[in-house]
Amino acid sequence: MLTREQVLVKKIKEWTGSSYIGDDCAVLADGKLVSSDTLVEGTHFRLDFTNWRQLGWKSCAVNLSDIAAMAGRPRYLTVALTLPAACPDLEQSLEQFYLGFTQCARAFGAEIVGGDLTVGPHFVVNVTAIGESHESGLLLRSGAQPGDVVVVTGTFGSSAAGLELLLQGDSASSLEGREELLLAHLEPQPRLAEALALVRLVGSRGALMDASDGLADALWQIAEQSQVDIEVELEAIPRSTVMSSFAQASGVNPYQWALYGGEDYELVATISADDWLKAQSLAGESFPFKKIGVVLASPPAPAVGELEGERVRLLASGESSNTFSGVVNLSNCFKHF
């Protein structure tokens, strides 16, 4: 089952006749990368959960993550804000917002070049990021090939756990390690250095995207756009100990958050088996990816009525059965749309 957003994006490609739509960024004729993302109050953030500096940081980071997802270098950012007319402490709030935004932009070599300010009934942040393709190559969602190894950065599920912490409020205020989960949700780190390490190793031979809509969605998007199948070892998906124990304390299977929680701005890539061998001879620091699965040839012509999710299979190894094994179920995704 495609999500409503995926159905609409397909239609928009038809209506506009645009050949650029469908990856994390559009690739322009001169190799520039362009991406646009919107954060809406109440849908993507709550001002009782985040402060304005963190909101500025995150608004920047999620857009830089789209440049990382093409293995590019971010250069320019525009920031268009829609603000309620009666916003209290507007000037102080905006100063904090731009402080956080500028901190994140500078930390990753980008700068704000323009934007727009306008009044509206709700607070909306729209950011457009412009970057440059790396001279070593460009990595798209569609580049996976049978025999590739599936690799990821970081850990999964921590952002969803951080959001749950905020939703539980005081009742979870004594959790040890809560700061790690809150930061994962409120101040994500775009994986630009990791993307550059990857593209230097593999050039254009592989597939890449970020897991902003969840690991399961990222795996499915790569499999679908590359016309391959993917098998993932559930137990190989990196998770933080704090996330797993807080999930269990909250009555949630940690794999729910790791696979479907979303907003982990980690990278998901497939690289050739040869490149994976080369990567293992490097120190972990210079190739900060972990293997979670493999790419398989897709059987010819899927049976009518086959679920799109069947392209991605989740395997529980050993004797431990796991309710999350089987094909990915995209309707489990936490979707804003």
What residues make contact with its own copies under the rule CB under 8 A?
5, 8-9, 11-12, 15-18, 20-21, 25-26, 28, 30, 32, 34-38, 40-44, 75-76, 78-80, 82, 90-91, 94-95, 98-99, 101-102, 111-122, 124, 126, 128, 130, 336-337
Instruction: Please tell me the distance from the alpha carbon of residue 95 to that of residue 101, in angstroms, as a whole number.
Output: 10
Q: What is the rounded CA–CA span in Å between residue 255 and residue 269?
A: 20
Alpha-carbon span 229 to 77, nearest angstrom: 36
Closest CB to its own copies among residues 53, 311:
53
Question: Closest approach of Cβ 12 to its own copies, in Å?
Answer: 6
Closest separation in Å from C-beta 98 to its own copies: 4
Judged on CB neighbours under 10 Å (0-12, 13-18, 19+), 86 is exposed
Alpha-carbon span 187 to 179, nearest angstrom: 11
Smallest gap from Cβ 97 to its own copies, in A, equals: 9
CB of 105 vs its own copies, minimal distance in Å: 8
Q: Of 76 and 145, which has the nearer Cβ to its own copies?
A: 76
Least CB distance to its own copies at residue 160 (A): 18
> In angstroms, what is the minimal distance from the CB of 330 to its own copies?
16
Dihedral in degrees, nearest 10, Cα atoms 206, 210, 216, 219 = -10
Cβ 234 vs Cβ 258: under 8 Å = no
Give the nearest distance from C-beta 141 to its own copies in angstroms. 14
DSSP bridge partners of 140: 207
Helix, strand, coil tally for the chain in percent (to 5): 40, 25, 35
Which tokens is 234 given? 């559930």
Measured distance CA(236)–CA(254) in Å, rounded: 13
Nearer to its own copies (CB atom), residue 74 or residue 254:
74
Question: Which CA distances in Å does 309 have to 33, 62, 229?
Answer: 29, 25, 10
What is the CB neighbour count within 10 angstroms for residue 147?
A: 14
Of 93 and 189, the one with the shorter C-beta distance to its own copies is 93
Smaller CB separation from its own copies, 33 or 150: 33
Q: State which residue, 102 or 226, has the beta carbon closest to its own copies.
A: 102
Q: Which is nearer to its own copies, 25 or 312 (CB)?
A: 25
